[in-house]
Amino acid sequence: MFCPKCNNEYRPGIYKCAECNCDLVESEEDIKLPLTFAKDLESLEPLREFLENHKITATEIKENPEEEVYEILVPRDRLDKSKRLMEVYLLSVKQEQQDDLDEDEPEAEKRGFVYYQDNGAKAAENKSSAMVLLFVGIAGMIVIIAGITGILPIRLSGTSKYMTYGTMSALFLIFIIMGLISMKSYKVFAKKAESENSLKESMSKWARENITKEVIDAKALEDCAEISEEEKYFRRTEVLKSKISKQFMNLDDLFLERFVDEIYSKMYENN
């Protein structure tokens, strides 16, 4: 038995490497390497089926608890072919998404008037709205109760009294209900923001370890004559998107664009 990462040998009866904490294998044919990553299990399953349909057998999906992501593993001797097949798969998925976009997307979005707003910002907006609505609604109900009980010197009588208090009560009750709905939305977006931040940290770590200016420029500016800075930017960001998309599947396009802009800024503009 030996470790597929560090190649340390172990006596029979030991199944995990003491240094790498990964499963031991009996032969080199059993070694599997990660092909790509994703935050959720469901997004990797279609790719695994695609690989299986193209004779890449013995694939599996395992959780990486350290990075809080799922990995799809393929036999080491089929890794290169798996990468090529994954490119084909991603292109087909992207084409399907583009076809759906052409059919369903509003005209304003097709023209590019769409900006990504992360879940953290949505959570903050909903929390702020909830606090304001609840404060106004509860304060209004307190004033109405104080008026009805005579604590406040509000003098109303007869039909006007019931109509005024009834209308105001209904209005402030709506404020409270809307506030509770916004608070519920805040909790939903806050949970999504936590997951989104975890994914972003994993992507940032991978980018720091695997992407450099030299790697990007070697691909983006290959065989190029003198070109403008604007053209360099577009070429570089396309390479960045391609590399990141191959490692982290099913990313929201607007989320990916914003992340790539942040990476680009750190790599080029801040220097």
**Contacts for 89 with CB less than 8 Å, ≥ 6 apart:** 46, 47, 50
167-171 CB contacts, 8 Å cutoff, 24+ apart: 168/140, 168/144, 169/141, 169/144, 171/140
Q: What gap in Å lies between CA 19 and CA 265, rounded to an integer?
A: 37
CB of 117 closer than 8 Å to CB of 192: no
CB of 245 closer than 8 Å to CB of 256: yes
Q: How far is CA 174 from CA 168, 171, 179, in A?
A: 10, 5, 8
pLDDT digits (tens, 9 = 90+) for 160-197: 777 877 888 899 999 999 999 999 999 998 988 888 88
- Which residue, among 65, 61, 33, has the nearest Cα to 47 in the 3D structure? 61
Looking only at the bridges linking them, the beta strands covering 69-75 and 60-64 are antiparallel
Percent of the chain residues topping a pLDDT of 90: 12
Does the pLDDT value for residue 107 go beyond 60?
A: no
Mean pLDDT score, 106-110: 47
| pLDDT of 75 | 83
pLDDT digits (tens, 9 = 90+) for 238-258: 889 888 888 887 788 888 888
| pLDDT of 180 | 94
| pLDDT of 119 | 82
Q: Which residue has the tokens 């509003």?
A: 106
- Which residue, among 268, 208, 270, has the nearest Cα to 243 in the 3D structure? 208
For residue 105, what pLDDT band results from cuts at 50, 70 and 90? low
- Name residue 150's amino acid: G
| pLDDT of 268 | 80
Q: What is the mean pLDDT of the chain?
A: 80
CB of 178 closer than 8 Å to CB of 133: yes
Q: Give 30's DSSP letter.
A: G
Using left for φ > 0, alpha for ψ between -120 and 50, and beta otherwise, residue 31 falls in beta
Q: What gap in Å lies between CA 261 and CA 217, rounded to an integer?
A: 16
Provide the strand spans (E) within the chain: 32-38, 60-64, 69-75
Q: Could you tell me the pTM of the whole model? A: 0.49
Chain Cα centroid distance, residue 5? 29
